[in-house]
């Protein structure tokens, strides 16, 4: 019935259902806002209408996970001057978009690792 036209007799009531797929932008704002308008044409005069708003709250769950692994370069014996290569895997484990994601590490040469460098 949504979007369809029909006839309502005085005192008559109809109920319809519809679905909406939640978008990431809805989750990021924490809600789905919606306004519906019902309009009808009487036998004489201007159309009549009424609107109703509904806000459905959405739970926000911001979470991030960092996994860091390190390996000694191939053929290295663990002596001074050998190189350790680190890999950082960052995962958004929540349901909202994260911005300005970065990784910092206290070892020299590993601090301020930006997402663009991954």
Res. 71: pLDDT tops 70: yes
Largest distance between two CA atoms of the chain: 94
Burial of 111 (0-12, 13-18, 19+ CB in 10 A): exposed
Percent above pLDDT 90 for the chain: 67
36: its two tokens: 């519906």
pLDDT, one tens digit per residue, over 31-54 is 999 999 999 999 999 999 999 999
pLDDT level of residue 115 (50, 70, 90 thresholds): low
Write down the pLDDT at residue 19.
Answer: 95
pTM of the model: 0.74
């Amino acid at each position: 019935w949504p979007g369809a036209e029909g006839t309502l007799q005085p005192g008559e009531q109809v109920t319809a259902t519809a679905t909406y797929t939640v978008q990431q932008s809805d989750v990021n704002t924490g809600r789905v806002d919606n306004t519906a308008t019902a309009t009808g044409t009487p036998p004489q005069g201007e159309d009549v209408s009424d609107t109703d708003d509904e806000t459905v709250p959405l739970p926000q769950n911001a979470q991030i996970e960092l996994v860091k692994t390190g390996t000694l370069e191939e053929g290295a014996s663990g002596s001074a001057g050998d190189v350790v290569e680190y890999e950082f895997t960052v995962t958004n484990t929540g349901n909202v978009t994260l911005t300005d994601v970065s990784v910092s590490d206290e070892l020299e040469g590993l601090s301020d690792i930006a997402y663009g460098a991954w």
